[in-house]
Amino acid sequence: MKSLTKAIKDYLALRRSLGFKLHSAGAALMNFASFMERQQAQSITTRLALDWAQQPPDAQPAHWAQRLSFVRGFARHHLATDPSTEVPPAGLLPYRPARARPYLYSHDEVARLLKQALQLPGGVSGLRPWTYHALLGLLSVTGLRVGEALRLRFDDVDLDARVLTVRGTKFGKSRLVPIHASTRDVLADYLARRTKHLCGRGAVHFFVTRTGHALDGADVRRTFYSLSRQVGLRGQEDSHGPRLHDFRHRFAVETLMGWYRSGEDAERRLPVLSTFLGHVHVSDTYWYLSAHPQLMALAMARVERHWEDRS
């Protein structure tokens, strides 16, 4: 029988070949293999899985529950080759994390952020203000994940066809995202400034620093926090507030509200929005219907009209 370490490596390789990245799970399971070796254990047991999962002792319950879920997933797979494997039952370390309530930017707030981005150090002739102006604008109208926008390559942006090719998404798949003509015009303006600034030097990514390198995600977030404080979306000392990811939520909610207001069947069109957002399950998109009072009001109005028409 292969060692547990080898079995875990094979399991991770298989899952990754299917598109799962497993960064946290991979590191955790290799740590679990080392733990099992120190215990001189030949097979996975529920007791050993719990002992490992509840480390460190002062960690949050969510951390323990996540660690146990990693072992549970592997144990289900490993049971086929090692019948002595115990699969920890679900619910042993129950924890249901509260989903962060998105912040819904108003049109005015988005406009203020974009205007403030143009005031970033670099001046009219510099690239940085225009990079953030185009990047934040794109996030607000396409629903892209921040990482997806930062990973866009020069060849992924087809301005003539008005289509973005989004590669290496959260679940390892690629998708095409159409853009509006007005968005195309902003990106074309940025591209012209980018080309002039780089003076013919090639750059792989579409959004780049003044030296032509890919933007750093942490720096992008710090810059956004600074901009949001400058326009009053965060207090000067606030550590929490509207996030870059909330642009994605805004896009989804605005799309759904537009469908409701125009009389379209929003529920039937949810798969379209799911595909656009890169969701694997429609249920991930359906969450937006229950998370926002405005959407709930529009949905209830639709139901009421339906029953009025039948009465």
SS3 state at 119: coil
Helix (H) or strand (E) holding 247: helix 246-261
CA distance 132 to 208: 10
Catalytically active residues, by annotation? 145, 170, 245, 248, 279, 288
Q: Which two tokens stand for residue 156?
A: 């992924």
CA distance 171 to 24: 14
Q: Which two tokens stand for residue 233?
A: 């979306």
Residue 21, CB-side half-sphere exposure with 13 Å CA sphere = 8
> Which of 176, 115, 121, 149 lies closest to 247, judged by CA?
149
Q: Which two tokens stand for residue 77?
A: 């797979």
> Which of 262, 83, 283 lies closest to 270, judged by CA?
283
